[in-house]
A and B are shown apart, each in its own frame.
Chain A
Amino acid sequence: MKTRVLTAAIVLLTCAPAVSAAVSRTFNSEQQFPLLANGTLFLDNPAGDVVIHGKDTPNIEGTLYKRIDGKDKAAIAEGNLFTKLIIGGDERVRSLRMAISEGASQEWKASTAWHIRVPRTASIRVMTRAGELIHISGMRGTVQVHNVNGRIVIEDHVGPARIESINGSIFYLSPAVRANVVLTSVNGDVTATLPQSAGFRWIAETVRGDIRTHFAARGTFIGNTFNGSVNAPGGPTVRTSSLMGNISVFAHKVPVRTAQSVRRTAPTPMPVATRQPSTQVVRGLFKYATSLGDVRVQQVLGDVDIFTGAGEVQLGAVSGSLNVRSSGGPMQFGEINGPINAQTRAGDILIDSARRGGVIATQGGTIRLLYTSGPTRLTSGGGDIIVRQAAASIDAETASGDISIAMDPVARSQKIDAKTAKGNVVLNVNAHFGADIDATIVTSDPDADTILSDIPGLSISREQVGGRTRVRATGKLNGGGEKIVLQATDGDIRISTGPVAPTVVTRR
């Protein structure tokens, strides 16, 4: 079956050279090396297309087109000299490698196109970095291909296959599925065309793309992976994966457009956003869920309810409450009038103003809250917690990092809990702030660290507990007030009345 994408023509060229090429020359050479029918060919071609046909031949034979683009003839001569074909091995295992020697100047650019025939039953392994096309047809042995950019087309192949690309698309066409086939690309699409009667196990995974097929596949989704079987249970496994691209498994001779999305037949948690909403103003409730995608909204005149499986969430101003959950990605919010529930599994959280406080949590990342006037709980699985101006009670806890809380300058007293399992605690208050302090440091440093307070009234005790030193300061500041509990492990505690450093933030 031929589709538009196939090309049987000799491919001469490749990527446009970065050097401003005034001159260009192509050097042809005919090559021939014996290869056993069950031999293996390793082909390493950093730049250039590769076209391989499987035939009944005892050799690897064909033409090598070495193209050098350079600024002048001398540059081309140098390019030719420095670009070499390195041959290794024997008729059982043959390695062919295009190498560019070190010490070359940068005034030329080389690429090599291969157009060769090899024994049909041989195994081949092709590696390229930059080229427009790798085209392999008629093979019956193991085929392995790795590339970074460029399209890969494998045609009329039966046997084990492992085709891997980073940005390129993969097309795999086979008259029979008799062995395991793995097709993966990070950013490109993956397409396989197989016989209608083929029976195989099918594993398909993609996060952003769709999964479409002609086959009636019976299986289940776990997360982003579909695991099922086609035509009969068992058989070899066909694994098609693309993080960002689409997966298609077509049947020969069936029109492509009739393929169905597997996501429709199998239950999936939520739709995938194909385009991120990037809006200015939303009136009313803003409710949005996506398994993958950023969310950026400037202003919401209402409540917010957002879920993203992975992505950044950026909201300017929210007049109502804020409920945002993310399985991964940083969050940045402006002025939030209603209570906040912001949780991410990974990433920093930056909030300008939380008027009604709330719960702010990350499992790994720094939390910066510039202003809050409602009771706030902040937790981090690892990272600093910084509250620049707190006009309400604070409960802050991090597994590893500093906690730095500055009270509103006119606050007279406030309940504060700050606990870090590895780091310092700094509390900034005005000189008249009243509190009942209970501050504890646990450290393994025998020259134990300090609890410092600019306001008198604390008494200190110190004891060794199981090889660790515990320093505890208790007492009343300015006659007493709300209860403040501070705990730092392997760090200092400081209660300071001095001016507070401005918090440096990087806005996204």
Chain B
Amino acid sequence: MAASNGRETGEMKHLSDQDLMRIVQAGDYSPASEIYDRYSGRIYNFAFRFLKNAEAAEDAVQEVFVKMMRHANQFHGDAKLSTWLFSITANWCRDYLRKADNKVKESDDVLVQLPAPSELSPDRSLEQRENEQLVRKALGLLTSEQREAILLSRYQGLSYAEIAQIAGCSEGAVKTRVFRAMETLKKALAGEARGGTRCLNVVQ
């Protein structure tokens, strides 16, 4: 379908986020697919690891991108689109958790729904797959603010300033959350090399 503003969809790849958003702000939704392709992976991974629920994460992605399109005018060109999208996502996830029956289910059904890691990437070693389980369990030991902060820092590579914007707190608070998260994770994960057993019953 030729984009109604005369641009071929192939050209969208070369446009910046700001340009694409401007097109959307002008009422032309044709960049939707390109923007989705650029950011859906990150949004999904963040939501999935935060909520520990694939279905909820899928809903999150949809809601976030629909909101992005419909409220495109709230986006100011000099901000980063990714920061804005993560903000929307974090808000949505927090709202989701607040609803009574949506407490985080550390469910092994999650594992069942996804293809087993060995199917995803046969070259992942046994150790990597074991570590994956440990990391998931360790992340479950964190408070939701700490988990949000460490997911955004470690896995999405965002700066503390950006995380502060997304989480709605100060940079100092982000620093503390990350530090405390790392302390917990360190206790849970580092120790294998020293031959010690990993103690996952660490209480904050």
Contacts and interface: CB of A to CB of B under 8 A. Distances in A.
A446 B2 CA distance: 10
Nearest to A443: B6
Contacts of B6: 444-447
Interface in A413-445: 444-445
B45 to A, nearest CB: 35
Which bucket holds chain A's interface residue count? under 10
A445 B5 CA distance: 8
B47 to A, nearest CB: 38
Contacts of A447: 6
Question: Binding site of B, secondary structure by majority: helix, strand, loop or mixed?
Answer: loop
Interface in B1-16: 2, 6
Interface in B94-132: none
Interface in A434-469: 444-447
B6 to A, nearest CB: 5
Nearest to B2: A446
Nearest to A444: B6
Contacts of A445: 6
Interface string B1-39: 010001000000000000000000000000000000000
Contacts of B2: 446
Contacts, number: 5
Nearest to B4: A446
A442 B27 CA distance: 27
Nearest to B8: A444
Interface residues of B, number: 2
A446 B5 CA distance: 9
Interface in A106-136: none
A129 B108 CA distance: 60
Interface in B21-70: none
A158 B6 CA distance: 65
A445 B6 CA distance: 6
A446 B7 CA distance: 10
A148 B2 CA distance: 53
Nearest to A446: B6
Nearest to A445: B6
Contacts of A444: 6
A197 B6 CA distance: 71
A43 B2 CA distance: 58
A444 B8 CA distance: 10
A172 B6 CA distance: 62
Nearest to B6: A445
Interface in B114-162: none
B3 to A, nearest CB: 11
A490 to B, nearest CB: 11
A63 B2 CA distance: 71
Nearest to A447: B6
A447 B5 CA distance: 9
Interface in A458-494: none
A446 B3 CA distance: 11
A395 to B, nearest CB: 32
Contacts of A446: 2, 6
A447 B6 CA distance: 8
B7 to A, nearest CB: 10
A447 to B, nearest CB: 7
A55 to B, nearest CB: 43
A445 B2 CA distance: 11
A444 B11 CA distance: 13
A413 to B, nearest CB: 37
A322 B6 CA distance: 47
A465 to B, nearest CB: 16
A251 to B, nearest CB: 57
A197 B153 CA distance: 63
A300 B6 CA distance: 54
A446 B6 CA distance: 7
A333 to B, nearest CB: 40
A447 B3 CA distance: 13
B12 to A, nearest CB: 15
A447 B7 CA distance: 12
A444 B6 CA distance: 8
Interface in A231-274: none
B26 to A, nearest CB: 15
B2 to A, nearest CB: 8
Interface string B64-83: 00000000000000000000
Interface string A52-93: 000000000000000000000000000000000000000000
A444 B3 CA distance: 12
A447 B2 CA distance: 13
B10 to A, nearest CB: 13
A491 B2 CA distance: 20
A449 to B, nearest CB: 11
A275 to B, nearest CB: 48
B131 to A, nearest CB: 31
A257 B92 CA distance: 82
A376 B128 CA distance: 74
A444 B7 CA distance: 9
A469 to B, nearest CB: 11
Interface of B: 2, 6
Interface of A: 444-447
5 contacts: A444-B6, A445-B6, A446-B2, A446-B6, A447-B6
Pick the 5 closest A-B CB pairs, nearest first: A445-B6, A446-B6, A444-B6, A447-B6, A446-B2
